[in-house]
Amino acid sequence: MPEIFINGKPYQAEPDQTVLQVCRENGIYIPYFCWHPQLSVVGNCRICMVEEEGRGVDIGCNMPVKAGMRVLTESDEVKEHRKAILQFITLNHPVDCGICDKAGECVLQDYHYEYNGAPSISSDPKVRSTKFYDLSDRIVLDNERCILCSRCVRFTSEISKSCGLGIEERGDTSLVRPSTDGSFRNDAYSDNVVDICPVGALLSRSFFYKSRVWYLQTTPSVCPGCERGCSINVWHRKQEWHLQSLDTAENTSIARVTPLENMAVNGPWICNKGRDLAKIFERKRAEGAMAKGKPVSLAEAIAAARQLIVGAARPVALVSSWGSNEELEAFRSALGASFTSRVKADHQPEPGEVVEDDVLIRADKNPNSARARELFGTAPAVIPADADLVLVWGEGCDFSKIPAGARIILLGSYLAPENGHADVFLPISIQTERNGHYTNFQGVVSGFEACFPKAPGVVDAEAVFAGLGGAAS
């Protein structure tokens, strides 16, 4: 373990580390654009300059540690170099923060305030380049804002392996461009390049001009798109920025989804499906309880369901693999004894979707299959012909397979024709309206938190089970 000195203080380092890594581990901040913990080192932005005493300045991201080396991260020379590098970077950068989606979370903006702050010393015209270049139906590219850090290029060649992006031309007219075979358009992880872009060059179409980031807050959550259960941040409007007029639905809708770094599960990446959770969660919601299609109050519906359970001889339950660990436990403790329980796959792969790959995406498109099977076994979700009561929890049930005479209790979140046919329908909350945990296929438990309040008529499944509990006794 070599010991190195940073700004005069000794630190322990691993022999294969670089100065930048040691600094990061010990909370000494060194600015960087092109360096990324998951990507190879190219050292092209040159802003992570540090001074090795006696040897002058060099980039910290490619400086291997040597025992006894003395590094300065805030010397006058280092500061002067950072300032110069920022002058070079902003020389041809349009500085159009006012209309840039990245403003507020832009590394270049931060560094400019932190390390330069001076107006440009150049009065020559900037190099013009393409704006709104169509990279895919998800991403647009603004080449003028691009600082050519090549993170996106390295991401597609090293992480998503689509090799979908490259750099064309040279010098200050270099351009990030997609490969001609169109592989970037089919890259299932392409949206990550928007996150890792240190400036506003790569922009997500779904978030394009939608909101300033400082109006938004993040809530940690788990992607329910497959059994990987990637940790995500759900971005939604801050309470103090809630709209009082215009489209108030904005207040309770997902602005965007970004990865939440979780090295045990997904690292800093998620797939494009995880970005589109709004498509899943913002379908039309069922907001009132019903009995045989007639609106009833929640209390009446729960009472009716209790009646059905008490009267049933051979009740069967189709348990949701989208239920949280807590809900699954609640179901088992309340109703596990009275029902024959089967785990149901709520979602199947959609046409055109990447079913499975060796990066993150898994074939089982349900987030909590692992825990559900642990509690209720792996028997197939087949309803016995002699069942006289079927409790369906969540989506994905083929109602034609339910025996003709059987009564149905349905717990659902979205508007569906089956809701009205069920003997009792109970509207339950969705993942963004409650707290809970999922267990992924590796056994890693990740938690999600509520982003939005529930509609008045909607109830948590956990509360439903508590209300139904004891019906059989």
Q: By CB under 8 A, is residue 287 in contact with another protein?
A: no
Looking at 1, 27, 119, 124, which residue binds another protein (CB under 8 A)?
Answer: 124
CB 199 → another protein: shortest distance, Å? Answer: 13
Nearest distance in Å: CB 61, another protein: 9
Q: Site for another protein (CB under 8 A): how many residues?
A: 38
Q: Choose the stretch contacting another protein; rule: CB under 8 A; options: 49-57, 300-308, 311-319, 343-351.
A: 49-57
Q: How far is the CB of 139 from another protein (least distance, A)?
A: 22
Contact track, another protein, 61-80, x by CB under 8 A: -x-x----------------
Shortest Å distance, C-beta 374 to another protein: 46
Subset of 125-154 contacting another protein (CB under 8 A): 125, 127, 147-148, 150
How far is it, in rounded angstroms, from Cα 80 to Cα 447?
45
Among 48, 71, 89, 402, binds another protein (CB under 8 A): 89
- Of 20, 22, 50, 59, the one binding another protein by CB under 8 A: 59
Does 4 engage in binding with another protein (CB under 8 A)? Answer: no
Q: Which of the stretches 124-132, 207-215, 232-240, 465-473 binds another protein when contact is defined by CB under 8 A? A: 124-132
Stretch that binds another protein, among 2-10, 103-111, 118-126, 431-439 (CB under 8 A): 118-126
Rule CB under 8 A: choose which of 14, 110, 134, 172 binds another protein. 172
Q: Name which position in 169, 181, 261, 356 contacts another protein (CB under 8 A).
A: 169
Q: To the nearest whole angstrom, how small is the minimum distance from the Cβ of residue 123 to another protein?
A: 8
| 133/393 with CB nearer another protein | 133
Assess 44 for contact with another protein (CB under 8 A). yes
Q: CA nearest 207: which of 182, 175, 236?
A: 236
Judged by the rule CB under 8 A, the positions of this chain that interact with another protein are 41-47, 49, 56-59, 62, 64, 81, 84-85, 88-89, 91-92, 121-125, 127, 147-148, 150, 166-167, 169-174
